[in-house]
């Protein structure tokens, strides 16, 4: 059966996370609903990574298998119609066919997270950054970010009883950026363990 990747971005403020849950509104549930409405078929999505309640994503991927789209379908037109159905805080960027063996989670090359802190009250950052009006020690923050690059076993950062074969992760980059109105921490790795980036 043909497989498709769907790239999307979302503001997670109103959602109980990425993964479908009973009695909670999630990104996956909204996307599956939009696909079902547009293609008049049921869909089950697999995500590249999970985000928690209130977390935003500039780029996340899902994949699904379906014969409902058809080989000659205009996928760009599908993107337009899916965005018309989806809530305004979820946007589909691309929809494209892939090899049937492609897997959005296992074939991901890296994952990147960004944490934003603002120190002066700003209503325009309240949903996308953490308000911390106290002094931060820049040298300690930078030293801590560099320290992560020296480690590969992150078992102590993982949630208990997580079903993984290894706790090894390769941290590719870990750095702070200090701007006038926001402080940003970015961390990128080949993978993160469940609960690790919190």
Q: Are the C-beta atoms of 57 and 51 separated by less than 8 Å?
A: yes
Alpha carbons within 13 A on the beta-carbon side of 68 = 14
Out of 22, 52, 127, 179, which one is annotated catalytic?
52
Q: Taking Cα atoms as reference points, which of 30, 26, 67, 32 lies closest to residue 46? A: 32
Distance CA 72, CA 81 (A): 16
Distance CA 143, CA 105 (A): 31
Q: Is 74 a catalytic residue?
A: no
DSSP code of 168? Answer: B
Sheet containing 171-178: order of strands: 130-131, 111-118, 183-189, 171-178
Q: Taking Cα atoms as reference points, which of 169, 32, 27 lies closest to residue 108? A: 169
Which residues are part of the catalytic machinery? 52
């Amino acid at each position: 059966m043909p497989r498709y990747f769907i790239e999307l971005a979302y503001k997670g403020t109103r959602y109980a996370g990425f993964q479908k849950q009973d009695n909670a509104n999630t990104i996956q549930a909204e996307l599956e609903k939009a696909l079902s409405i547009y293609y008049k078929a049921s869909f089950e999505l697999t995500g590249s990574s999970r985000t928690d309640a209130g977390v935003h994503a500039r780029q996340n991927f899902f994949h699904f298998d379906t014969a409902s789209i058809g080989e000659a379908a205009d996928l760009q037109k599908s993107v337009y119609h899916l965005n018309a159905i989806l809530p305004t805080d979820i946007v589909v960027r691309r929809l494209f066919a892939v090899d049937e063996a492609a897997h959005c989670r296992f074939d991901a090359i890296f994952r990147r997270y960004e944490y934003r802190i603002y120190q002066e009250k700003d209503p325009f950052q309240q949903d996308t950054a953490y308000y911390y009006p106290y002094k931060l020690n820049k040298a300690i923050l930078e030293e801590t970010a560099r320290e992560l690059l020296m480690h590969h076993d992150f078992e102590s950062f993982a949630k208990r009883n997580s079903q993984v074969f290894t706790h090894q992760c390769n941290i590719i980059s870990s750095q702070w950026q200090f701007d006038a109105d926001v402080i940003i921490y970015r961390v990128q790795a080949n993978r993160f363990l469940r609960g690790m980036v919190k």
